[in-house]
Structure 1
């Protein structure tokens, strides 16, 4: 696993794209602070850049680097959640501007996955995590379902967990600083 982390880190630091297993589905990732790298993901996915992407961070300490004010409810959700949950926060900071949604929000998840945790720690920053599919196509449930265009369009494919099957995307909850909680995806 350490060799895969080292290889992925090199690509991320050079502004490249990686294809990697997350705690949910296979993801396309890049440095979440690099606007050019984020543009490459939108192009690869053939996705409108007005559609926001998800980021991963290692822990709540790293989360504080990218969100001005974390609502208290977020910490409760971290504690009680048994399934992967992505939270949409108001007022993101220190991220590529083309990663931030039009309503000035950002979707961030703290993954429960050893590879992701170690990669994020060693990278010491947020990494984009968007499903490994062309926009509008079904999310691949396994590595074998990833389209050849995606495999060819990234700079590095992490050679771990290729057998992982029946994965599903995380739930998404929007937590506004005003106290409003809204379920976006169950």
Structure 2
């Protein structure tokens, strides 16, 4: 049985040194790094062969981290999160305190508050948001299990978390865009 705390420590050390990790999330396997480190974010774009204009999701572990990144969070955001039955990603306006290359061209950032134990505890250690993008080359299908992950991705990261390797992924999160004036738009169900 893998040791959760050992894996959190190993992943934390890699991230702290500007590395990128392959890890299980509450939905699918993800590639991640410190969302405040532009060089680490650039490594992920390069590995995924993805244009930097395509933004990625950032994981957070609660209100404090959310308010560190967003000055203004519409009340409806908290209502959506309170009532969401499945993992839900919110796209919010005007993030700060994150790498510029993680912010979308329309000045938004996609965020998900996570409760899954590995990610939650890693975020507690990091005290910073964690990039989370599906573990695939851009344009390829999102892998449903660890064994479906392209070997290029596995070789391209600095650390592969040794947890939940046999788990079949859930579906990707619902994505809802909220504007400062509280307009709501569902991007992915």
Instruction: Find the aligned partners of 1:109 and 1:66 in 2 and give their Cα distance.
Output: 12
Instruction: Find the aligned partners of 2:172 and 2:63 in 1 and give their Cα distance.
Output: 21
User: Quick one: which of 137, 142, 146 aligns to 1:139?
Assistant: 142
The TM-score with structure 1 as length reference comes to 0.99
Matches within 5 A, 1:32-181: 32-181=35-184
Matches within 5 A, 1:13-24: 13-24=16-27
Instruction: Find the aligned partners of 1:41 and 1:132 in 2 and give their Cα distance.
Output: 10
Alignment pair present for 1:5 and 2:21 = no
Q: Secondary structure at the match of 2:68?
A: coil
Instruction: Find the aligned partners of 2:18 and 2:174 in 1 and give their Cα distance.
Output: 28
Instruction: Find the aligned partners of 1:148 and 1:88 in 2 and give their Cα distance.
Output: 31
Q: Secondary structure at the match of 2:34?
A: coil
Deviation at 1:167, TM superposition (A): 2.1
Q: Could you list the per-position Cα deviations for residues 70-102 of structure 1 after superposition, in whole angstroms to 9, with x for gaps in the alignment?
A: 110011111111100000000100000000000
Aligned positions, number: 186
Q: Could you list the per-position Cα deviations for residues 38-76 of structure 1 after superposition, in whole angstroms to 9, with x for gaps in the alignment?
A: 000000000000000100001111111111211100111
Identify which range, 49-58 or 164-173, moves more after superposition. 164-173
1:58 to 1:166, Cα distance in 2 relative to 1, 3 A? closer
Q: CA RMSD in A?
A: 0.6
Unaligned 5+ segments in structure 2 are none
The TM-score with structure 2 as length reference comes to 0.97
Unaligned 5+ segments in structure 1 are none
Q: Could you list the per-position Cα deviations for residues 93-129 of structure 1 after superposition, in whole angstroms to 9, with x for gaps in the alignment?
A: 0000000000000000011301111010111110100
